[in-house]
Structure 1
Amino acid sequence: MASRSHRSPSPGRRRNALVAATVAAAVALVAVLIVAFRPDDSTAADPAAATAVAGTRATPTPTTPEPKTSSPTPTPSAATRSSSPTPTAAAASPRSSATAATNPREPRKASGAAPLAGRIKPGVSYDGVATFYDVGNGDGACLYGPTDDVMTAAMNHTDYETSKACGAYILVRAANGASVTVRITNECPLPCAPGQLDLSPQAFAKLADPVKGRIPITWSLLSPSTSDTVSIRYKTGSTRYWCAIQAIGHRNPLARLEVETSAGWRELPRTEYNYFLSEQGSGCGGTTRITDIYGEQLEIAGLGVRPDVVQSTRVQFARH
């Protein structure tokens, strides 16, 4: 009798072994298929994580690749467009803006108002009296010098206003309807009252018989038509270290005179004898800027310090 270990397996055990072998074969087949169809390691990397490292927004890789063109047309970036902008009207014609920025010598005109006027204002009629005096050679407190112009007058001390009235053109009217235009060249000292004008004998004769000596008048400021231009004169003794400057022949009353210095424009004080004084020499011989009571400014360059010489210019204030 054969031993138990050499007995043939029973039919049930053979079935179990067959099933186990079949399962093992199936598992091996699945493993082979997985290995065969496993994607490449480079495509297995997370595209979102890789893009994030580059510092831009993550964009999943599309499953279908986009078609590529052989010669793509580049689109300008925003930086490229800004560096080469399409010319505009302002860029195409920079002359006007450049002129405004680099040409400060252009005269600056004002409107009809007179913001810098003193006691004598345009458009105002003043009451007073007219007298006359011997004008001699026509010189006076304004220090314009001798003149052949006989239609002149001396302004009363109050309205003379430290020579602000010098050079002003005044229309004088008498009660009888007669009128005359005079230029202020002198000061009528006290007791000349506000509103009073001391005329040349010739100007007074245009209004009334000189035997009357004194007549009531009204007068007003004028901005007359003239072909003259402004002139500049340095006073006797002027140098680069001290100077006094005078403007002559201005159509409208002068409000201020400035000189150009290394620190900018400097306004000079006005004296009673109608010169603008630079006691320390600032701006002497440099560019001069004059402003009338209407605010118009005129710049005058190229005039040296030449005492007692009337130096003509090509500029004149506008008429009002």
Structure 2
Amino acid sequence: MMTTRQVARQHRRRRRLVLGATVALTAAGVLAYVVMALQPGHKVDAGSAAATTRVTAQPRVGDTASPSPSSSPSPSTSTSASASSSASPKPTATPKAAKSSPKGIQKSARTSTVPPTAGRIRPGTTYQGVATAYAAGVGDGACLFGPSPDMMIAAMNTTDYETSRACGAYVLVRAANGKSITVRITNECPLPCAPGQIDLSQQAFAKLADLKVGRLPITWSLVSPSSIGTMSIRYKTGSSAYWCGIQVIGHRNPVARLEVSTGGGWRSLPRTGFNYFISADGSGCGKTIRVTDIYGEQLTVNGLKVSANVVQPTGVQFAQH
């Protein structure tokens, strides 16, 4: 049987063993924590926010993940975002860009129907105005074409006459009663003729209404007739190698420009109100002539002499439109 002293020593030994085990376990835990803290993986976890920031700041070619709101997406990223999210403003911008192209095409198509060389009177356009009548005599007028082979002619108001630009134009005139007539512009109707007004020969007016009507509301538009023959060139009276005036006669479409060859290129001649193109210094007189209509078609005529007041046929004509 154990004595009291032996029992006390045994208790003290047990306490030391328990204390040692506790200290050992505590040391082992601290050591394990230190070891874990020193592992590289643990450092990445602790700094993951910073690492993520660096990655998202770099361009991600081919990355399909949504871009960080704080960084500018790369082109490939914006394309993916546009394709994957309808809430993004990118898809809205893309349809707008797609729509702008057809609009641009339509606008270009509309522009092409209005020739760049056309003046106030443009093809495919309907004008409103009033028709009046005048005694046209033999049909000559401000355009200086001379006597007309028929009396289906008219004088254009000064504004639309546009310094003889309307000379020779064929115009379809329609009245409210349904009747219509095609006339050729050979004259100018001065003020008070208003823009849109056409002063018809009495013979032409009578095709639409009784002359007693006086003023007839009309609409009118430019036309390009089918049967017309070929155009001619005429040098004005007084023309020579030192000064000349050149006129185009019998053209299907309005003439926009007349040029003469000067040896060093083409020279565009100014047009007068009496429908002649003038070379004040004689440059190009008797040389090759190039005529352009409002549609941009160019016809070249050569071999013509400076024969004053002589109508010289050319054998060419503008295309019908």
Compute the TM-score of the two structures, normalised by the length of structure 2.
0.65
SS in 2 for 1:135: coil
Q: State the match for 1:304 in structure 2.
A: 305
1:270 maps to which residue? Answer: 271
Q: Residue in 2 aligned with 1:167? A: 168
Alignment length, in residue pairs? Answer: 210
Could you tell me how far apart the structure 2 residues matched to 1:205 and 1:267 are?
41
Partner of 2:130: 129
In structure 2, relative to structure 1, the CA distance for the partners of 1:226 and 1:266 (3 Å cut) is same
Q: Report the Cα distance in structure 1 between the residues aligned to 2:228 and 2:166, rounded to whole angstroms.
A: 21
2:285 maps to which residue? 284
Greater mean deviation of Cα atoms: 171-180 or 140-149: 140-149
Q: What is the aligned partner in structure 2 of residue 207 from structure 1?
A: 208
Aligned-pair distance for 1:137? 1.3
Counterpart secondary structure, 1:252: coil
Aligned amino acid, residue 184 of structure 2: R
Letter aligned with residue 185 of structure 2? I
Query: Is 1:192 the counterpart of 2:193 in the alignment?
Result: yes
Aligned-residue RMSD, C-alpha: 0.9
* Greater relative CO, 1 or 2 (CA 8 Å, sep 6+): 1
SS at match of 2:273: coil
Amino acid across the alignment from 1:147: S
CA distance in 2 between counterparts of 1:176 and 1:297 reads 39
SS class of match (2:217):
strand
Q: Secondary structure at the match of 2:149?
A: coil
* Cα drift, residue 148 of structure 1: 2.8
Query: Residue 230 of structure 2 corresponds to which residue in structure 1?
Result: 229
Distance verdict in 2 for CA 1:200–1:296, change over 3 Å = same
Q: Which runs of 5+ in 1 are unaligned?
A: 1-110
Partners of 2:226 and 2:179 lie apart in 1 by 20
- Return the offset for 1:146: 1.2
- How many Å separate the matches in 2 of 1:300 and 1:226? 21
Q: 1:158 to 1:113 in 2, by over 3 A?
A: closer
Following superposition of structure 1 onto structure 2, how do residues 1-320 of structure 1 map, counting pairs within 5 Å?
A: 113-320=114-321
Q: What amino acid maps onto 1:285 in structure 2? A: G
Distance (whole Å) between structure 1 residues aligned to residue 235 and residue 177 of structure 2 = 43
**CA deviation map 1:186-220 (0-9, x unaligned):** 00001100000000011101111111111100000
One-letter amino acid matched to 1:231: S
1:86 alignment partner in structure 2: none
SS at match of 2:212: helix
Task: Supply the AA of the counterpart residue of 1:138.
Answer: G
Identity %: 71
Q: Which moved more, 1:221-230 or 1:239-248?
A: 221-230
Equivalent position of 1:102 in the other structure: none
Corresponding residue SS for 2:204: helix
8 Å CA contact 2:130–2:196 kept in 1: the answer is yes
Matching residue of 2:99 = none
* Kept after mapping to 2: 8 A contact 1:112/1:294: no
- 1:113 deviation in Å? 4.5
Match of 1:6 in 2: none
The CA distance in 2 between the partners of 1:112 and 1:315, in whole Å, is 24
SS at match of 1:159: helix
Larger radius of gyration: 1
Which residue matches 1:56? none
Amino acid at match of 2:233: I
Contact 2:228 2:250 survives alignment (8 Å): no
Q: Residues of 2 paired with 1:116 and 1:274: CA distance?
A: 17
Q: Show structure 1 runs of 4+ deviating over 6 A.
A: none
**Aligned partners of 1:112 and 1:271: how far apart in 2?**
27
Amino acid at match of 1:191: P
Cα distance in structure 2, aligned partners of 1:235 and 1:133: 27
Higher share of residues assigned helix: 2
**Contact 2:114–2:122, Cα closer than 8 Å, also in 1:** no
What is the alpha-carbon distance in structure 2 between the residues aligned to residue 191 and residue 270 of structure 1?
24
TM-score, normalised via structure 1 length: 0.65
